[in-house]
Structure 1
Amino acid sequence: MSNETGCKVVSMKDIAIGNLEYGSGASAIEYDNKTRYVRITDIAESGKLNDKAVSPSIIENKYELKEGDLLFARSGATVGKTYLYNQTDGCCIYAGYLIRLVPNQKVIFPKYLYYFTKSSDYKLFVENNMRVVAQPNINAKQYGNLTIPLPPLEEQRRIADALDLASSLIEKRKKQIELLDTLAKSLFIEMFGDPVTNPMGWDICTINTVIDSLIAGWSINGEQRKLKEGEKAVLKVSAVTQGYFNENEYKVIDQKQKIKKYIYPQKGDLLFSRANTREMVGATCLIFKDYPDLILPDKLWKIRFVSSANMVYMKYVLSHQSIRNQLSNQSTGSSGSMYNVSMKKLKEIIIPLPPISLQTKFAEFVKSLENQKFLLQNGLEKLEMNYNALMQKYFL
């Protein structure tokens, strides 16, 4: 079978050695510095492993990963997420909520296969194949039946190399932005200290005390495509996840759909993600202009604060790891599913409230950094546009 460009198309099971297999049912224990246990939650959004490692309670060699093995998340909020094993990650055993595909490297280059799982075709496959009962799920048979374009092996390598270069440029730019974020976080600690231990003895209050308004969005389905003039779209949780607002993370709403709750991001809002993975729940971002074409889903809240609480200061309070840990601990959910924080739990969290003059001074410093970040993010957007154009070229 061939696609519209004449490229051969095969199913995943046709380029795999053996069957696609589920992982180990072992429990996670403290890392033994020898064998790492890879679970869905250990795979970052970038497709790399998180820094914090655990080991399996039982080591079964049949679940040990080999160079080029590709893992698929089969269940939960991040179903469809993938990880390509590299020997630099050390000895790894993969867990039961993951599915392994061992690629036949005589016909497919593993990195090419991995990049295919970042394509719009793959994302559409995930959306169309999730069997939602208690939580989203895609089984090994469904993954095995997924089709992929298969150009000659040398062409696959060339494609993977081009996407590697585009990805590395994006990662370098992101690190530059992260350095500015680190500088702002360091100044926050220097000026205000840890917001949980409050070593500087600031007055304290519950978050509820400084909230002027807190509004939830509305749940509605949408289509994964570019927004056209006159259309409305619903934001995805990923619009907030990175700590800044990503206006391109949305799904377009069918124009025949009646929007029952028209809540959109406005200048001066702080957006709060009340549902996500345990690590990402409670993510926040600030809004610096109005976005009337983008509505908030029920998983995102918009918050405004009273005059005694600067919104930039509040963003950094809520982003601090000690507060994020509290939010994570207060969230409800189970492994493999989304965790949720209730409005009540958020409002009950105790925070320090320094004089508004000091908060404002901090906000002014952050603003100067944000101006630098704005230039870097413009460059980042161009790099991401280039990457997306390459993905469209190679995987359409």
Structure 2
Amino acid sequence: MGKYQRYAEYKDSGVDWLGEIPSGWEMWKLSHSYVEIGSGTTPSTSNEENFEGDIPWITTGELRENVIFDTNKKVSQKTIEQFPTLKKYPIGSVAIAMYGATIGRLGILGIEATTNQACCVMTKSKILNNKYVFYWLQAFKNEIIQLSSGGGQPNINQEKVASLKISASTVESQLQITKFLDYETAKIDRLIAKQEQLIALLQEKRQAVISHAVTKGLNPNATMKDSGVEWLGQVPEHWECIKIKYITTTFEQGWSPQCDSRPADSSEYGVLKVGCVNGGSFRNYENKALPPELEPRLQYVIQKKDLLVSRANTKELVGSAAVVQGDYPNLMLCDKLYRLKLCKDVLPEMVALYLSIGVVREQIELGATGASHSMQNIGQETIKELYYLLPPYQEALKILESVQQSNQRFEELVTKAQSAIHLMQERRTALISAAVTGKIDVRNWHSPHDAMVF
């Protein structure tokens, strides 16, 4: 912040985590500053007519530090009349999420809208500019969350939001600060977006490298042949195109007893959760502790080199696969997972990579059953009947080593980009915080666009 000036004099704000503010600023309590601070409700979902209107209905999932111009669900005027706590809030109102994982998320209404009960809405104020308040709440999101109560689902209530004190100068000064922040945060957001695009490209390139390696091999001069499978096309001539059922010695699924919600410790048995294979790497901590009164089924204890495939999962994750890299004598297979033990000349890591590539994922999704927007299932036959490309064992080892090396390079680049994003997000928050507490003086700031001559 060294390039910005400070105000001439400061005073104690009276709030520990705000520190000092310029001597000419005030601390405004939200409840004293706004005409209305309200919330909403969720109409009964059993009556479909409640959501057959054209009045936007906002949930906390739609609060993304954004301006909201549309919603997934809409209610009717009749619904509003039936539910007195369901109110229409004017354009420009600020909404903050009060519950659970979304707590502290913000949005500005770009439309007249209603909300559910997890949103707190601030409407109009003659003292505070809504965009300024929007920025202020962003800067101190973590501090606001600290005011929450509750265990697994922390929450703040409308009274706690209303009791917040906002540091601010005149409305004119607030407008100047928002202009400054609009310009500066937009620059940071563009840089963040570029890093996010880079990560997406790296992940896309990584998948392309894996796909080529496990379907074409490493030798660009290898003689190719028609695989005989339309969706696989040309493959190396010396590779075998074989169904997965012919390279497995065991194909089974586990069990799902009623378990505790916590992971098992080293002295307990645990049953794996289906998420243990998400992302292509085995995560042993994704398990639930088996209650001591239940007898473990030791035939389902997982072992090193087991190939696990998710049988029941979301559309994007059904069929995800990972290889167990060690022995876990206290962890057992659940019934949402398949365990495949492969013939001795087949590398399970290669099969897991193969199941992750696009053309194979398409076949898995075609064979899946269940609602497209929720949990889907794949039967054993879907996996067993998939064609697999089997290279000679020594060649498979070289392919696997090459893929692992390229994955490491991609991970290093992704980590570097993620670190850059984290630093820019910290910079963004720090800049907003400095501006809305007067740690920097932007009264004489002018947008570079103002000086442009056309």
Give the TM-score range, shorter chain.
0.5 to 0.7
| In the alignment, structure 1 residue 247 sits paired with structure 2 residue 284 | yes
Q: CA RMSD in A?
A: 5.6
1:208 CA displacement: 0.9
Give the whole-Å Cα distance in 1 for the aligned partners of 2:283 and 2:198: 17
The 8 Å contact of residues 22 and 100 in structure 1, kept in 2 or not, is answered as: no
1:1-396 alignment to 2 at 5 Å? 17-21=39-43, 68=95, 101-104=118-121, 121-122=151-152, 153=164, 184-191=206-213, 192-193=215-216, 197-202=231-236, 203-260=240-297, 262-335=299-372, 337-368=374-405
Q: Distance in 2 between matches of 1:120 and 1:360?
A: 51
Q: Give the Å deviation of 1:265.
A: 2.8
Distance 1:267 1:294, change over 3 A: same
Give the Cα separation in 1 of the matches to 2:338 and 2:102. 29
Distance in 2 (CA, whole Å) between partners of 1:328 and 1:226 is 30
Distance 1:374 1:16, change over 3 A: same
Q: Name whichever of 236-245 and 327-336 sits farther off.
A: 327-336
Alpha-carbon distance, 1:184 to partner: 4.8
Summarize deviations over 1:336-369 as a string: whole Å, max 9, x none: 5421111122111223333333322111123445
Cα distance 1:103–1:321, how it changes in 2: closer, same or farther (>3 A)?
A: farther
Q: Distance in 2 between matches of 1:176 and 1:213?
A: 41
Q: Percent identity?
A: 23
For residues 159-199 of structure 1, the C-alpha deviation after alignment (integer angstroms, 9 at most, x for no partner) is xxxxxxxxxxxxxxx99998886565333333325997323
Q: Secondary structure at the match of 1:248?
A: coil
**CA separation of 1:20 and 1:343: change in aligned 2, threshold 3 A:** same
Pair member with larger Rg: 2
Specify the code of the residue in structure 1 equivalent to 2:347: N
- Separation in 2 of the partners of 1:375 and 1:224? 34
Does the 8 Å CA contact 2:206/2:410 hold for their aligned counterparts? no
Are the aligned partners of 1:196 and 1:351 in contact in 2 as well (CA < 8 Å)? no
- What CA distance in whole angstroms lies between the structure 2 residues aligned with 1:290 and 1:178? 34
* Letter of the structure 2 residue corresponding to residue 291 of structure 1: Y
Q: Give the direction of change, closer, same or farther, for the CA distance of 1:326–1:187 in structure 2 (3 Å limit).
A: same
Distance in structure 1 (CA, Å) of the matches to 2:283 and 2:199: 14
The one-letter code matched in structure 2 to 1:310 is: L
TM-score, normalised relative to structure 2 = 0.50
Asked if the contact 1:332–1:341 (Cα under 8 Å) also holds between the matched residues in 2, the reply is: yes
Gaps of 5+ in 2: 1-36, 50-55, 65-70, 81-87, 124-132, 167-195, 217-226, 419-454
Provide, for residues 114-156 of structure 1, a one-character-per-residue CA deviation record: whole Å limited to 9, x for no partner: 979xx99336xxxxxxxxxxxxxxxxxxxxxx9658697479x
Contact 1:71–1:83, Cα closer than 8 Å, also in 2: yes
- Would you say how many aligned residue pairs link Structure 1 and Structure 2? 301
Q: Quickly say closer, same or farther: Cα 1:227–1:320, change in 2 above 3 A.
A: same
TM-score, scaled relative to structure 1:
0.56
Deviations 1:307-341 (A, max 9, x none): 44322221111011221222122111125542111
For each residue in 1:184-218, what CA deviation from the matched residue of structure 2 results, as whole angstroms up to 9, or x when unmatched?
A: 53333333259973233344221112222222111
Structure 1: gaps of 5 or more residues: 1-14, 27-35, 49-54, 73-79, 124-145, 156-173, 381-396
CA contact (8 A) 2:251 2:338 kept: yes
TM superposition shift of 1:224: 2.5
Q: CA deviation at 1:71?
A: 11
Cα distance, 1:242 vs. partner?
2.2
